[in-house]
Amino acid sequence: MRALYLFKRDLRLEDNRALAYASERHREILPLFVFDPEIIESLKAEGERLYYVVRAVERLSKRIKLYCAYGKTHEVLRDVFRVYKPSHLYTAVSYSWDGVERNKSIKKVCEEFGVEYVEVFENFLVDPREVPQRKVYTPFYKEWIKRVDLGEGKVKEFQVPELSLPQIEQIKPMLKLSDYRHFDPDQCEKRLESFSFESYEDTRNYPAMDGTSKLSPCIRFGILSLRKIFKKAQGKSEQFIKELAWREFWYHIALNFPETKNVEFQEKRRNIAWENREEYIEAFLEGKTGYPIVDAGIRQLKTEKWLHNRVRMILASFLTKVLLVDWRIGEEFFKEHLLDYDQVVNVGNWQWSASVGADPKPFRLFNPILQAQRYDPECKYIKKYLPGLAQVPCHMLHNPISHALPYHKLVVNYYERVNLSKRAYGLTQNQIGDDF
């Protein structure tokens, strides 16, 4: 019996439970990856980010004969089923809102053709459905950590049938790609080996340092197994493991509160009067707010398609609480640019940063001046991404309100805006101070 294995965001052979499960049951497997124009378009992924996916597929193709297709997934599957008649289709489970819908439509095509559809748990350390429902991260973590199962998904050797289906070389000319050097799937293993988990706690908040793992694209596309990453961090950094759990917390929230894809987790925050002023939105999206730490972040995001977590938080707080712009606009902006974009994680974090999400703290405020002073004390990060400001003394760059910079005009005065913002959130002026 021939099985079809549909790769999605698990682009590896090593420790892949879904593929392992298929390989235990079938000697012949047709491995397939589909470049679906609907997904590419919805993520605006053409160019650099698609290039990364192609590199990941090429990497996998060196190990097995991986068939590829360009087209709507359900149409591609119909064509493949008609001609090559697999008995089963295996794929990894999906818990993202769009992923669930996609898997449903794959299952429907399978039913049409009498192909048995098998969805296997993968891409998480703990099945987010198995953790008892929690609305707050810390109690979730306590339940989550008890359930981590590091059992490896060993893939057995299987035969790939010789078929006249295209491979990545034939598909590549159909894709709009641009060269991209900042991240490369070939570097995931090396990065995992060389990253200093022991130092993570001390370095992770400083965007000018190479102090976080930068494994998010490797995780997003399943180039590395989460179990392997977990084992590397185990005993070296509990903080790092907690970050892996944050990713799964957002899936837990999405599963238990599916409405949060579009609406705020906190009911009381569903009617914030966002100003959404065009000129503020434009200044933010173009990195022309006049706040160097914010504009440097936008520059990093646009040029590298990745952004340091501390700066993601500063940006998200600035857009929502200083400019009073709807978090959905920021979510959409990150979706267009982040290589590691993950719908569930991005929505969860944007809601958290906007103080409308799963967070017991009533209001978080990241003052861009204090944040810059504290986390970029020598302005290395600012000057790297805004080289035009290289000659300006650092204390001036930290505080663009007190110092006129040879640079964009301030879009707003932070201190004037936060009071407005607190009112929009239903808080009194002195209720909440700055956060770190």
Contact residues for ligand FAD, defined by CB under 6 A = 204, 212-216, 219-220, 243-244, 246-247, 250, 309, 312-313, 316, 334, 338, 340-342, 345-346, 349-350, 353
Instruction: Note whether 92 and 122 are within 8 A (CB).
Output: yes
Please state the closest distance from residue 351 (CB atom) to ligand FAD, in A. Answer: 9
Nearer to ligand FAD, 244 or 412 (CB): 244
Say which amino acid occupies 313: M
- Looking at the chain, the number of H-run helices and the number of E-run strands are 21, 5
With 0-12 / 13-18 / 19 or more C-beta atoms within 10 angstroms meaning exposed / middle / buried, residue 138 is exposed
Place of tokens 């295996």: 90
User: Smaller CB distance to ligand FAD: residue 308 or 383?
Assistant: 308
Instruction: Report the Cα–Cα distance between both ends of the chain, in Å, rounded.
Output: 58
CB distance 182 to 301 below 8 Å: no
In whole angstroms, how close is the CB of 131 to ligand FAD at the nearest point?
15
The partner residues of 159 in beta bridges, in order of sequence, read 28
In whole angstroms, the minimum distance from the beta carbon of 419 to ligand FAD comes to: 24
Q: Looking at beta carbons only, is 316 or 412 nearer to ligand FAD?
A: 316
Closest approach, Cβ 404 to ligand FAD, in A, equals 30
Which of 22, 83, 33 is closest to 55 using CA atoms?
A: 33
**Helix 368-375 and helix 309-317, axial crossing angle in degrees, nearest 10:** 170
Per the listing, tokens 């944007």 go with: 350
Considering beta carbons, is residue 289 or 346 the nearer one to ligand FAD? 346
- Comparing CB distances to ligand FAD, the nearer of 88 and 312 is 312
Closest distance to ligand FAD from the beta carbon of 334 (Å): 6
Q: How far is the CB of 43 from ligand FAD (least distance, A)?
A: 11
Q: How far does CA 254 lie from the centroid of its chain?
A: 14
Residue closer to ligand FAD (CB basis): 171 or 344: 344
CB of 353 to ligand FAD, least distance (A): 5
* 17 touches 226 (CB < 8 A): no
- Residue reference for tokens 């559809």: 117
Q: Which residue, 66 or 313, is less far from ligand FAD as judged by CB?
A: 313
Those residues with Cβ within 8 angstroms of residue 322's Cβ, 6 or more apart along the chain or in another chain:
368, 412, 414, 417, 418, 421
